[in-house]
Amino acid sequence: ADWPKLKPTMPFQQMPLLEVTPRSGEKLKFTESLAIARLVARTFGLYGTNPGEVYQIERMNSLVNALLGEIYALHLKKAVDLKRVVDAEYLVEFLDTIEDALKAKTTKFIAGDKVTLADLEVIVLLDTLDKTCTHIQHPCKDHLNLIKADVLKEKPAVARYLKNRPN
């Protein structure tokens, strides 16, 4: 679709947008990626089964999205700030915090014994780091890659999507 033409028709003139038509027949439009992700996670059993799991999911989502926000902000800066993007050593502090949070993990997944929204967020983070911050090396990335591998084994449809999705 042609975004400049579509944008004025979108709620808040932004993406993503999830349209849902419940049994009532009223078409609902949802925006804000994290709100949509939480809604879908709750709807499809990817949100934890007890307060401890929900906390671990929300904690990891907060940490991951704080880092993603910094990465996206750096890449939206003007070219004169390119050195800051390349040097972005302070991003390592975010990875340190994520690494500390991973220490609370007692199973192969972030919260409990099944894939949750937090595990999927890890995949988003790794993809973003691989595309934008290839120079950053951190042990946390190895731990996150192990989680990603377990998710892809557990959820082959996610693996197929990642393999075949458009860039």
Write out pLDDT tens, residues 37-57: 999 999 999 999 999 999 999
Yes or no: say if 76 and 70 are a contact pair by the CB < 8 Å rule: no
pTM for the model stands at 0.84
- Confidence category of residue 15, pLDDT binned at 50, 70, 90: confident
Write out pLDDT tens, residues 75-121: 766 545 555 655 567 788 889 999 999 998 899 999 999 999 999 99
Quickly count: other Cβ atoms within 10 Å of residue 7's Cβ.
12
